[in-house]
Structure 1
Amino acid sequence: MMASEKAKELAAKQKAELKAAKLAKKNSNNPADWPWYRQLWQTYKVTADVDPKLNLYVILAFVGAVVVFTVIGIIFQPWWMWLLLGITAGITADLYILMERAKKATFIRYAGQPGSAEVAFGMLDKKKWTYTAALTATRQLDVVHRVVGPPGIVLVSEGQPGRVKALVSAEVKKHEQVAYGVPVLTVSMGDGEGQVPLDGLNKYLAKLPKKLAPAQLNDVKARLKALDAVRPRVPLPRGPMPTMKGAARAMRGR
C-alpha cells in the first residue's frame, strides 16, 4: 500500500515538473526554446524592420509561382494539381527569400558595431571552423578575433587600421610561437580599401586556400588552449541576434 502511494506521489511530482518545464519553455525569451513557427515569425518581423522590400519580394515570388504553375495546369491538366504545386513552390520560394534577406538584414543591423564580425563567424560551417571572439581590444573597441579552420589560424581585426595594427602584430607573434608551422593569416574587416566588408567576410574566409587536415586542426586547437589559458577575455557589448533557425527548419520540411 505504501509502495503504491509513493509511486503515485513520484508520478505526480514528475508530471508537475514536466508541466513546469513546458510552461518555462513556452514563456522563454531564448529563441532556441521556441517552436519553429515562432522562430520563423520572429525572423520575418526582424528582417522586415530592416528590409522594406521584403514584403514585395515575398508577394511577387508567391504570386509568380502560383500563376506559372496554374498556366501549366490549364495546358496539361489537371489544373488543381498544378495549382497545389504552385502554392508549394511559392511557399518554398518565400522561405528561401526570407533566409537570404534575413542574412543581409543581420549584416545591416550589426554593421559598424564592435564585435560585429561574430555575425559572419556564426555563418561558417561549424564542423570545419571554430572562432574565439575578442582576443584583445583597445579602449576605442578596436578588436582582434581568431578563427581556426582549414586555411590555418586567421586573425580578423575590426576598427581603425592604424590603431589595431599593433594588436594584430602582437597576436601574430604569439600565435606563431605557440602554433609553429601553422599558417597565421590576417584579415582587416571594414569598408575601406584593402578591407573585407562584414557581409562578405564569411565567404572570404571559406574561400581561403586549405592548408590543414582535420587531424592537424585538432592539434592546433589543443596548442591554442595554452595561449588562451593566460589571456583575460575582453567583454564586448552584445545584443540579441535574430535567429534564422526556424526558417532553416521550415526549408528542410520539418
Structure 2
Amino acid sequence: MSQSTTPAEKPKKRRFYHNLKDAYTMVKRTFGWLGWAMLAIVVVVFGGSILWGITSGHWISYPFLGLMLTTLLCLILLTVLLNPALYQQIDGHPGAVGAVLSRQSRGWIVSDTPAVVTQEKDVVWRAIGRPGVVLISEGPSNRVQKLLDNERRRIKRLAPTVPIHLVQYGHEEGQVPLPKVAKQMRSFKNVLNKREVPMVDRRLATLKPPTAQIPKGIDPNRVRPSKKAMYGRG
C-alpha cells in the first residue's frame, strides 16, 4: 500500500520590507516614540513638499522629491537607532558579547562558541584580527581577570609573538560597556598583515577549551542571542 507524501514547504523568501519590518519592531521595543518621530517626518517633510508644490506650481515634482526625502530620513533614523536598541535589549544577557562580535565580521575571525565557559557562567570570547588576539570576558571583574590571564598564557605558548589584548565587558569600574566593545577593538593598533591573521587562527585552533563542567542553563553552541529574537521573530 503506497503512502502519499506531501512535499516539504519551502521557506518563504525574505524581501527587503520584511527586514525593515523586523528592524522597526526591534527598535520600537526600546524607543517607543519611533512611530511618532516617523509620523512627524512624514507630516513636516512630505506635507511641506505638497504645500510647496501647490503654491509654486510644481505639484508633481516637489511632492515626489518630498516623498523620496521622507523615505530617506525615516531609513536614516531607523539605522541610527538600530545598534543602540540591540545593545540595550541584549545587555546583561549571556552571549551579549558574541552578538556584538558577530557584527564585526570584516577583518576579524570570531568563533561561534566561547573560548572559555565556567560553572559560574563567566565567558571569555576570542577574536583574531590585524591587532592580534582580543580576549573579551563576560562576568564580574574579580572572577574573569583570572580567566583572561589563564587564556592569555595558553595562547602565548602557541603564538608568543602575537599581541594579546584583554577586554572586560560589564558595568563595573574598569570594564567596557557593551556599546563600546566594538570601538575598543578598533582602537588597537594593527600589527599583523592580512595573510598572518588566518595563520594565527589555524595555530590557535589546536587549543582545546579548558576542562570545566558546562553550567546548567548555558549551551556553548547556542550562547549567542537568537537573531530571530533580536529582530522580533522569536
Bigger shift: 140-149 or 71-80?
71-80
Partner of 2:227: 241
Corresponding residue SS for 2:154: helix
Aligned length: 218
CA distance in 1: counterparts of 2:227 and 2:52, whole angstroms: 42
Deviation of 1:128 (Å): 0.4
The one-letter code matched in structure 1 to 2:171 is D
When residues 69 and 191 of structure 1 are mapped into structure 2, their CA distance, relative to the original with a 3 A threshold, is farther
Partner of 2:146: 166
Contact 1:190 1:198 (8 Å CA) reproduced: yes
When residues 176 and 61 of structure 1 are mapped into structure 2, their CA distance, relative to the original with a 3 A threshold, is farther
When residues 137 and 56 of structure 1 are mapped into structure 2, their CA distance, relative to the original with a 3 A threshold, is same
TM-score (norm 2): 0.81
CA distance in 2: counterparts of 1:62 and 1:211, whole angstroms: 48
Partner of 2:184: 204
Partner of 2:78: 98
Pairing partner for 1:38 from 18, 24, 27? 18
Pairing partner for 1:81 from 61, 82, 88? 61
| Pairs within 5 Å for 1:50-129 | 50-67=30-47, 69-70=49-50, 73=53, 78-124=58-104, 126-129=105-108
Structure 2 unpaired stretches of 5+: none
TM-score (norm 1): 0.75
The one-letter code matched in structure 2 to 1:114 is P
When residues 75 and 152 of structure 1 are mapped into structure 2, their CA distance, relative to the original with a 3 A threshold, is farther
When residues 130 and 75 of structure 1 are mapped into structure 2, their CA distance, relative to the original with a 3 A threshold, is farther
Deviation of 1:99 (Å): 2.2
Structure 1 unpaired stretches of 5+: 1-15, 27-32, 245-254
Partner of 2:157: 177
Deviation of 1:188 (Å): 0.6
Deviations along 1:212-250, whole A, 9 cap, x unmatched?
A: 11011121111111114x667963455422567xxxxxx
Please identify runs of 4+ aligned residues in structure 1 that moved more than 6 A: none
RMSD: 2.6
Contact 1:154 1:187 (8 Å CA) reproduced: yes
The one-letter code matched in structure 2 to 1:188 is Q
Higher helix proportion? 1
Corresponding residue SS for 2:110: strand
Corresponding residue SS for 2:227: coil
Contact 1:58 1:94 (8 Å CA) reproduced: yes
Contact 1:157 1:188 (8 Å CA) reproduced: yes
Contact 1:146 1:153 (8 Å CA) reproduced: yes
When residues 86 and 180 of structure 1 are mapped into structure 2, their CA distance, relative to the original with a 3 A threshold, is same
CA distance in 1: counterparts of 2:152 and 2:90, whole angstroms: 27
The one-letter code matched in structure 2 to 1:93 is L
The one-letter code matched in structure 2 to 1:127 is R
